Amino acid sequence: MFGDSVYEVTQTFNGIPFLLPEHLERLWASAEKLHMSFSFTKEDLSAQIDSLIKAIALPRIYLRIIITRGEGDIGLDPSLAKKNNIILIAKELPENPEWWLTKGLSVIVADTIRTSVKSVDPGAKSGNYLNNVMAYEEAMKIGAHDAIMLNHAGYVTEATTSNVWIVQDGKVITPPLKAGLLGGITRAKLLEVAKKHNIPVFEENFTAKELRMADECFVTATTKQIVPVTTIDGNAVGTGLPGEFTLKLLQLYKKELGLR
Ligand SMILES: Cc1ncc(COP(=O)(O)O)c(C=O)c1O
């Protein structure tokens, strides 16, 4: 009801859910932002996830964890919800398409604006993704792969299900959390990896104009890892090919996280 739920998405590598503690941490943080309490512990949930993954027994599983506020009489009052529903979705996750890294993604800057942190806080991974759905539909309508959303001040926030980064004059930049975006787990890991390797990395606001002028652009998310963006609103980013810096960051990210 009302998008009154929180969720997480991760994948397995060899039967182990990737960065599960980080995802559970964010699930609890999302619930806290919505003042939603849980009737179970992280250990309870991990045990359910484990048995589901064992039952499915596929090499690469997409795992979605959805927690609703719970059943009860219909109404906006959160106290009507008596007990959370836990919904776990596990399905085969096909390999990421090769063209993501050879051709890159085309994106648009959406007319749909990301909600402010004082509205439905985009920092909570909630079931209320209607803005993202609308922005994604804008992209689909003109044949682009995804949409990037701005905030009310005109700064870039994120794509519909991934964080956005630019490379400009050797600087790697991603918008700060206060711009109104989800604190991506891949985003956090990549910030760590870049800092460890003394790559100049910054959490700074940038505008749609700066995005379009960037030398390179890429998006990050758990199942996507790092994917180059090569076209924005029909115009080439840099050379129009996946950026060298972007591909180097991907190699570094995979090496540091022990991924293939
Ligand atoms: C809106 C949004 N931003 C960013 C991300 C990336 O987050 P993560 O790296 O934790 O997958 C997601 C995840 O799907 C998302 O839904």
**Do 211 and 121 belong together in one domain?**
yes
**Do 198 and 247 belong together in one domain?**
yes
Ligand 1 pocket test, pick from 26, 125, 148 with the greatest ligand atom count within 8 Å of Cβ, gives 125
User: CB neighbours of 64 closer than 8 A, spacing ≥ 6?
Assistant: 7, 8, 9, 87, 88, 89, 90
Quickly state the pLDDT bin for 112 (edges 50, 70, 90). Answer: very high
Contact between 152 and 116 (Cβ < 8 Å): yes
The whole-number pLDDT of residue 141 equals: 98
Alpha carbon nearest to ligand 1 atom 15, residue: 161
Q: Which residues are tagged catalytic?
A: 125
Question: Could you identify the atom of ligand 1 that is nearest to the CA of residue 224?
Answer: 11
Domain count, the chain: 2
CATH code (residue 206): 3.20.10.10
Cβ–ligand 1 contact at 182 (below 6 Å): yes
| pLDDT tens by residue, 190-228 | 999 999 999 999 999 999 999 999 999 999 999 999 999
Name the average pLDDT for the chain.
Answer: 97
Cβ–ligand 1 contact at 220 (below 6 Å): yes
Cβ–ligand 1 contact at 106 (below 6 Å): no
The whole-number pLDDT of residue 260 equals: 73
**Do 48 and 116 belong together in one domain?**
no
Angle at 99 between CA 94 and CA 100, to 5 degrees: 75
Contact between 83 and 39 (Cβ < 8 Å): yes
Ligand 1 pocket test, pick from 161, 185, 187, 225 with the greatest ligand atom count within 8 Å of Cβ, gives 161
**Do 114 and 22 belong together in one domain?**
no
Cβ–ligand 1 contact at 146 (below 6 Å): no
**Do 253 and 199 belong together in one domain?**
yes
Cβ–ligand 1 contact at 128 (below 6 Å): no
| pLDDT tens by residue, 58-103 | 989 999 999 999 999 999 999 999 999 999 999 999 999 999 999 9
SS (H, E, C) the chain: CCCCEEEEEEEEECCEECCHHHHHHHHHHHHHHCCCCCCCCHHHHHHHHHHHHHHHCCCCEEEEEEEEEEECCCCCCHHHCCEEEEEEEEEECCCCCCHHHHCCEEEEECCCCCCCCCCCCCCCCECCCHHHHHHHHHHHHCCCCEEEEECCCCEEEEECCCEEEEEECCEEEECCHHHCCCCCHHHHHHHHHHHHCCCCEEECCCEHHHHHHCCEEEEEECCCEEEEEEEECCEECCCCCCCHHHHHHHHHHHHHHCCC
**Do 71 and 187 belong together in one domain?**
no
Contact between 207 and 156 (Cβ < 8 Å): yes
Q: Give the end of a domain, one of 92, 115, 149.
A: 92
Q: Give the end of a domain, one of 92, 125, 159.
A: 92
Give the CA-trace dihedral at 234, 248, 94, 89, to 10 degrees: -90
Contact between 88 and 49 (Cβ < 8 Å): yes
Q: Give the end of a domain, one of 92, 116, 141.
A: 92
**Do 88 and 104 belong together in one domain?**
no
**Do 228 and 146 belong together in one domain?**
yes
**Do 133 and 233 belong together in one domain?**
yes
CA dist 233 and 107 (Å) reads 6
CATH code (residue 84): 3.30.470.10
What would the mean pLDDT of 249-259 be, rounded to a whole number?
97
**Do 82 and 106 belong together in one domain?**
no
What would the mean pLDDT of 135-150 be, rounded to a whole number?
98
**Do 204 and 157 belong together in one domain?**
yes
The whole-number pLDDT of residue 1 equals: 84
The whole-number pLDDT of residue 252 equals: 98
Distance from the alpha carbon of residue 236 to the mean position of ligand 1, in angstroms: 24
For residue 114, what are the domain limits?
Answer: 99-257
What would the mean pLDDT of 254-260 be, rounded to a whole number?
92
